[in-house]
Amino acid sequence: MGEDKPSPLQNFGMGKTTGFIEYSRTLPILRDVKTRVQNWNEFHAHLPEGELQKQGARCMNCGIPFCHTGATFEGASVGCPLNNLIPEWNDLVYRGQWYEAYKRLALTNNFPEFTGRVCPAPCESSCVLGINEEPVMIKEIEVSIIDKAFEMGWISANPPKNRTNKKIAVIGSGPAGLACADELNKFGHNVTVFERDDRIGGLLMYGIPNMKLDKKLIERRVRLLSDEGIEFLTNVKVGEDISAGDLKEDFDAVVLACGAPQPRDLSIEGRNANGIHFAMEFLHKNTKSLLDSDHSDEAFINVRDKNVIVIGGGDTGTDCIATSLRHGCKSVTQFEIMPKPIDKTYTHDSWLSKIRTFQIDYGQEEAKGIFGSDPREYCVLTKKFVADRNGNLTGLETVNVEWKDGKLFEIKGSEKSWQAEKVFLAMGFVGAEKACLFKELGVATTARQTIFVNENKQTSVQKIFAAGDCERGQSLVVWAIADGRKAAKSVDEYLRQTQNN
C-alpha cells in the first residue's frame, strides 16, 4: 500500500463512514520489556500499514474536530497546540495516500518525528470518539507518516530562494528554538542558533533518553536545517562567550528560547548527602556518556546494584525509572505526593476533563515487568534523608499524607524508613536559570521566574522576543514548537515594519 510519488489532492471527507464502529483501537507496538531494557534502542515499533489504515478509518471527521483546536478548557489543554490537520491526514492514511498525508502534516508541525514519539497526545484525549470509547490512535499515525516520508525520500533540504539582509540570533536549540529558527529561515532571514551544550537539541537531546527519542533523529533534522542555511554554534554560553551587548549590536532581532531548566529542590534534613541528584543531571550525563563513548567513559551516575528512589511523577520521573533499569539497579521506587488517579472511563462527563486519570507509562511498565509490581507509591511525603558517617546516602524517611479541600495533612503513625543509595528529584521546574543574561538584556521577568512577553512573544525590550518554556513555564514539546512558530512570525512582522519605517 502507499505510494512513492505525489497524486492529485482530493476533497477531504470521512473515508469510511462506519470505521469507528467496525474497528477498535489497536495498542501501539512496544518491544518486549525484558529485551528492551538490555539496550538503549527505541522501544517503539510501527504497526503494519494495513492496520494503520484501519486506525485512520476510525476518525469520524467531526463537524468540530476538538483534536486540533489547541485551546484551554477548565485549565486543561484541549487538542493540538499546533492545530495539526488531524482529520485530514487520518483520512489520507486510510486511503493509502501517504505523500499527501505527509504534506498536510508538514503544514503545521516542523518536527513530527519528535512529537510523534514524546508528546503525551492531548489531541487523543480530545477526540470526540473518546466520549464513549477509546479515541483514535492519532500519535501512532502521526509518527508513521513522518517516518515513511523520510524512508521514501520525500524530505530533503529546501533552502529559501531569496534572502533578506536581516540577522536573527536564537538562544537555545530545544524544540522552541529549532522551530523558531526553521520558520525564520523559511522567511529568508539569516539565522544563527547559539547552544551552550556540545550538541544541538536542548531538552530533546539531553533531557529525553535515547530509548524514547533516538538522537540520530535529532541529528538528521539538524543536518537538514543546516543544509537549508541555518548556522548552529555549540559550546557557546551567551552572557559569557558572547555578551548581551554584542547580541543587540550584531543582530536585528534576538529570540530567547533557553528553556526553564531550574529544578524544584527538596530542602529537608540530609539534603547534602552524597547520592541525591536532580533528575536532569542524571538524564543529561547518561545520554552524553552514551553518545560520547557508549558509556565506556563511565562519566554518568551509576546506579548498578543500587536501590533507587525517584521523587516525583511525570515524564521526567518515568525516564529516570527506565534509565535506572537499563543500568541494572537493584530496586526502583517512585514517590508521588498526590493520590492515585482514578481509572479512565469513556463517558461524556469525563471527556475533556482536567481530572487526572491512571495510566502506566513505559518506565512503570518496565519496572513491573522486571520486579513484578508498579513502582509507584502514592500520597508519600519525604521528611528526611539519611546518610552514613561518610556522608553517603543510605535511605530516607517518609510519612503518608491525605488531601482535604486541596490541603495536605500528615497521617500519624504512617512513618516509614526506606533504603536508598541513589535518589533522583523529579519534582518539576521553577523557571529559567539565566537571570544574569536577562538582567543584561534588560528584559522583564514574571513572579514565576519566566520572561514576560506580550501576545506576540515580544519582551519588554525592543527587538528581543522569547519562546517556549522560558516564557511559558514548564510545558510540552508541542507547546514549545507552537511558541517557536508564533515568535518567528512576530519577528518577521517586526523586521518588515522596521524596514518600512
Kindly list the distances between the CA atom of residue 244 and the CA atoms of 177, 247, 287, in Å, as whole numbers in the listed order.
18, 5, 30
Handedness of CA 425, 356, 455, 166 (dihedral sign): positive
Task: Tell me whether the CATH fold assigned to 19-151 matches the one assigned to 265-427.
Answer: no
Handedness of CA 342, 346, 349, 354 (dihedral sign): positive
pLDDT (tens digit per residue) in 97-136: 999 999 999 999 999 999 999 999 999 989 999 999 999 9
Q: According to the model, what pLDDT value does residue 501 have? A: 61
Q: 442 near 328, Cβ under 8 Å? A: no
> What 3-state DSSP class applies to 352?
coil
Kindly list the distances between the CA atom of residue 312 and the CA atoms of 263, 278, 283, 329, 338, in Å, as whole numbers in the listed order.
12, 11, 15, 18, 10
Compute the radius of gyration of the chain from its Cα atoms: 23
Q: According to the model, what pLDDT value does residue 211 have? A: 97
d(CA 408, CA 411): 10
Q: Return the C-alpha cell found at 401.
A: 499524607
d(CA 88, CA 99): 12
CATH match of 265-427 with 3.10.20.740: no
Q: Return the C-alpha cell found at 49.
A: 500499514
Q: According to the model, what pLDDT value does residue 114 have? A: 98
In three-state form (DSSP H/G/I as H, E/B as E, the rest C), the secondary structure along 98-141 is: HHHHHHHHHHHCCCHHHHHHHCCCHHHHCCHHHHCCCCCCHHHH
| pTM, entire model | 0.94
Domain 19-151 class?
mainly alpha
Kindly list the distances between the CA atom of residue 234 and the CA atoms of 164, 186, 200, 378, in Å, as whole numbers in the listed order.
25, 22, 7, 41
Q: 200 near 234, Cβ under 8 Å? A: yes
Q: 77 near 122, Cβ under 8 Å? A: yes
CATH for 167-262+430-500, options being 3.50.50.60, 3.30.1370.100, 3.40.50.970, 2.40.160.20: 3.50.50.60
Instruction: Map out the domains of the chain as residue ranges.
Output: 19-151, 167-262+430-500, 265-427
Tell me 448's DSSP state: T
> What 3-state DSSP class applies to 154?
coil
From first to last of its 501 residues, what are the pLDDT tens digits of the chain?
344 443 444 455 556 888 998 999 998 888 999 999 999 999 998 999 999 999 999 998 788 889 988 887 777 778 999 999 999 999 999 999 999 999 999 999 999 999 999 999 999 989 999 999 999 999 999 999 999 999 999 999 999 999 999 999 999 999 999 999 999 999 999 999 999 999 999 999 999 999 999 999 999 999 999 999 999 999 999 988 999 889 999 999 999 999 988 899 999 999 999 999 999 999 999 999 999 999 999 999 999 999 999 999 889 999 999 999 999 999 999 999 999 988 888 888 788 877 778 888 999 999 999 999 999 999 999 999 999 999 999 999 999 999 999 899 999 999 999 999 999 999 998 888 766 688 889 999 998 889 999 999 999 999 999 999 999 998 999 999 999 999 999 999 999 998 776
Q: 453 near 94, Cβ under 8 Å? A: no
Handedness of CA 351, 66, 80, 105 (dihedral sign): positive
Element (H, E) at 56: helix 49-57
Number of H helices, E strands in the chain: 17, 20
Adjacent-strand bridge partners of 400: 380
d(CA 408, CA 378): 13
Using CB atoms within 10 Å of the CB of residue 387, give its burial: 0 to 12 exposed, 13 to 18 middle, 19+ buried.
Answer: middle
Kindly list the distances between the CA atom of residue 499 and the CA atoms of 245, 383, 460, 469, 485, in Å, as whole numbers in the listed order.
22, 59, 20, 30, 21
Using CB atoms within 10 Å of the CB of residue 409, give its burial: 0 to 12 exposed, 13 to 18 middle, 19+ buried.
Answer: exposed
d(CA 215, CA 117): 12
Q: According to the model, what pLDDT value does residue 15 have? A: 66
